[in-house]
Amino acid sequence: MTTMSERISQSAFDDSRLRVVLLLDLYDGAQNEFLEVYEHLRKQVSSVPGHISDELCQSIENPSQWLITSEWESAQPFLAWINSEAHVETVQPLHGCVRDTRSLRFSVLRETGRTAPPTPSVAGFDFTAGPGYGGAPVRERGRERLQTAPRRGDGVMRHALTFTVKPGSEAVVAELLAGYASPQARVDENTRLRRTSLYMHGNRVVRTVEVEGDLLAALRHVSGQPEVRAVEEAVNPYLEQDRDLTDPASARVFFTRAALPAVHHVAHGGQPAAPLRRHALFYPAKDGCGAALARLLAEQDEAAVDDPDSPVEASTVFQRDDVVVRLLDLSGPLDARPELALGVRAGHKAGVLARLLDSAKDGVPTTDEELSRFLARSEMRLITDRRAPAQS
């Protein structure tokens, strides 16, 4: 059996405290404007549920470089905040002051010298939406919750983007998205695109990416490629929400709203014995149930990966609000073990899943036949799946 230390694992559901580090590079002469905007925003963000505190720092070596560190009760409230429309509106005034940003997120594993949580103060905010955050079982000290052990990573950042197209345009959009030329895998000395998969479910498009290195640099690299821009321009007339990727402000809003972060990933640490098949499943949650649904799937996949008889070799759960997508790498057919493929390893969990799903209108799937039908309705249509060639 694969142990916690041997598995590849990351999760936003370990409930440990979260530290967010935001690096900012200001435009020349924008310091006073930045401070004025920040002072106005801090009161708004300090009342966001789950926010504990933050610090604003200025570099002693380069005064144009600033640092905001914020602390949150856990990753879940932070992710809910940065993926909200309120966040988009709140940080908008800052974009006129800030040339570039980089956001890093960490679960708190060890600390020295503090015995109680700080008093909530100023704003913790972010400019980007990104992947989930690693963690392990936590221990509590009053309100303090820390990771007790590190998880093992694989050096890969996982992220997804999602948007909807006008009903009736699905076939045209699928053809456009399947036909683009792949961008160069190498982004820079430290960043490389590893895999891009694109799926559709009804009129919803989901593009997942795996990146070695800097995720934001990779997304900028892809969006800037002429062949990708041409395809995106061709898709624009069919989108339900207008966008203009040639306008930095419009592009920023689109990518923020389209972000579908990876909130959980688990995989065997060793090499699979057989070639794996990748599938994507779409889970439309009832209003307000997206996080609970994603957590349920994550818990089931943790157990499935440890089961030597399970075909589930790896799973990534993406979640934003009530949109949940689960990416599976299986060692056999999707319907060989429908309960594991659907994410309901324990029998009674099928009922829990059905109660969380907005589409669960025809009863709780209990038999293998019912589970298979349920699974078929959830499976997304593969449009393209592209891997970068192996590095020499």
Determine the pLDDT at residue 5: 46
Alpha helices in the chain (DSSP H): 31-45, 75-82, 85-91, 170-178, 215-223, 226-235, 248-258, 290-306, 338-342, 349-356, 368-378
> Which CATH code for domain 156-261+383-387?
3.30.70.100
What is the distance between the terminal CA atoms of the chain, rounded to a whole angstrom?
A: 32
Cβ 206 vs Cβ 260: under 8 Å: yes
Determine the pLDDT at residue 115: 55
CA distances from 116 to 72, 111, 120, 145, 280 (A): 14, 11, 12, 11, 43
- Architecture of the domain defined by 263-380: 2-Layer Sandwich (3.30)
Reply yes or no on domain 10-147 having CATH 3.40.50.720: no
Helix axes 290-306, 349-356, angle to 10 degrees: 150
Determine the pLDDT at residue 360: 57
pLDDT under 70: residue ranges of the chain: 1-5, 114-144, 148, 270, 272-274, 346-347, 359-366, 390-392
Determine the pLDDT at residue 391: 58
Q: Where in the chain is the domain with CATH 3.30.70.100?
A: 10-147, 156-261+383-387
Per-residue pLDDT of 142-201, as tens digits, reads 345 777 678 888 889 999 999 999 999 999 999 999 987 777 788 888 888 889 999 999
Determine the pLDDT at residue 214: 83
- Helix or strand (DSSP H, E) at 133: none
The DSSP string of 299-326 is HHHHHHHH-TT--EEEEEEEEETTEEEE
CA dihedral 361, 364, 366, 369 (to 10 degrees): 0
